[in-house]
Structure formats: structure tokens, C-alpha cells
Amino acid sequence: MKHFYSFLVFVLVLSLIGCELFIEPVKETTIGYEIQKGTNLAVILQTSLSSNANQRGDTFVTKLKNPLKFKDKVILPTTTQIRGLVKRATKFEKFGDRANLLLLFDQIVFSDGRVLPLLASLNTDQGPSVIKIPDKAAKDIAIVGASGIVGSLVGEEVLGKGGAEKGLAVGVVSSASAVFISGRKEVKLPQGTELTIKFDEPLLIFK
């Protein structure tokens, strides 16, 4: 019986810890709905991005893959746009170069035209699954942990001959809300690429 009560206490402690760690994506307030810091959203890239074609200052648009809800109420429908900014783009020009993109997510645009400032980034905690390129099999993705790089669409040993030329790496950089994506040659994220972004600060949406 003593062991049974000890087990019950252990389960209760675990459940309390779990309650503290779990945060609902949306919290209702007296004036609106607050999307919590750390909330993840899957978005779909509406135009392609390329380290060779894009340059600093270019903007890009994504749309939500799924609506964000609070209970039965839709807070962010799939028509919502998440806009981003290319902070840096370095093209591949010669052997030995490493092409790269530095991305920011800074605006949320509603279907009625409202625009709110946003602070969000790719969720590198999820490793390489943060980027899902259309028609690319999951088996092509592996995790590499080195020098702050948390995920990589790695080269030859995974993708076969010539695969190293397709390498992508995702890593957090010093600038808030920025993610560095690099490759040995052109870094290309085609239209339709799915990205998982994370809110780095809460966002209040008025009722």
C-alpha cells in the first residue's frame, strides 16, 4: 500500500509539471486574443526564394497552412498572410563559396487589410523538419549538430552522389527573429515550401 501511495504522488507531480509546461497557443483577454510567445504555425511560401535571385530588402509572403483557433472561434484563418524580409542574400559564384539567406518574419496581414507588426522566426528546435520542400522525401533529411547549426539537409551520405551540392543548413543567428539558411551552391526554397515558424513575442489581436 505504501508503494501504491508513492506511485500516486509521483503521477500527481508529473501531471502538475506537465500543466505548467504546456501553454495554450491562444489566450482570451478582455480586449482580444493573445497569441502566446512560442506558438508554432505552419506556413506555405507563396513565391520562391533564392540566394542567387534575391537580395537584401526583398519581401516575401507566406500563408497559413491551417487556421489558428481559440476553442471554436477562428482567430487566424488560412487567408492570413505572414510576410517576411530577406535580411541578407549571398550568391554562389565560384567553387568554395557558401550561398546563404538570412530571413526575418515581421508582419501579419489579415484578409480585411489590417497589418500588425510581428516578431517570428523559423522554429529551429524542430531541426530539419522546419523546412519541407515539395516532392522531397523525408528520408533525405538528417540532423547535424555543430557550431549552432541544428538541422541540415545534408550531402552525399544521405542524398547520394552530388547530394553535397544540395546541402541546406538551418541555424539561429544573433539577430532576433532571424534564421540563417546556407548551402554549398544556390539556396532555393521553391513556391509551396512549408515552413514552421515560432512566435518570438506574444501578439495581441483586438476583438
Return the CATH number at 105.
Answer: 2.40.128.260
pLDDT tens for each residue of 13-38: 444 444 434 568 999 999 999 999 99
For the entire predicted model, the pTM comes to 0.74
What is the structure's pLDDT at 99? 79
Confirm whether 105 is domain-assigned. Answer: yes
What is the structure's pLDDT at 83? 96
Confirm whether 4 is domain-assigned. Answer: no
What is the structure's pLDDT at 47? 92
The Cα–Cα gap between 117 and 203 comes to 9
* Per-residue exposure over 106-126, b if at least 16 CB sit within 10 Å of its own CB, e if not: bbbbeeeeeeeebebbbbbee
* pLDDT of 49 above 70: yes
| Residues in CB range of 39: below 8 A, 6 or more apart | 25, 26, 68, 198, 199
pLDDT tens for each residue of 50-73: 989 999 999 999 999 999 999 999
pLDDT band at 168 (very low <50, low <70, confident <90, very high): low
Domain that holds residue 188: 23-206
What is the structure's pLDDT at 11? 40
* pLDDT of 128 above 70: no
Confirm whether 3 is domain-assigned. Answer: no
Confirm whether 17 is domain-assigned. Answer: no
Percent of the chain with pLDDT over 70: 66
The Cα–Cα gap between 172 and 175 comes to 8
Confirm whether 10 is domain-assigned. Answer: no
- For residue 34, list its beta bridge partners: 27, 204
pLDDT tens for each residue of 79-99: 999 999 998 888 888 876 777
Confirm whether 14 is domain-assigned. Answer: no
* Average pLDDT of the chain, as a whole number: 75
> Kindly report the CA angle at 60 between 119 and 173, in degrees rounded to 5?
45
* pLDDT of 117 above 90: yes
Backbone angles phi, psi at 35, to 5 degrees: -80, 125
* pLDDT of 146 above 60: no
- The total number of structural domains in the chain stands at 1
Confirm whether 155 is domain-assigned. Answer: yes
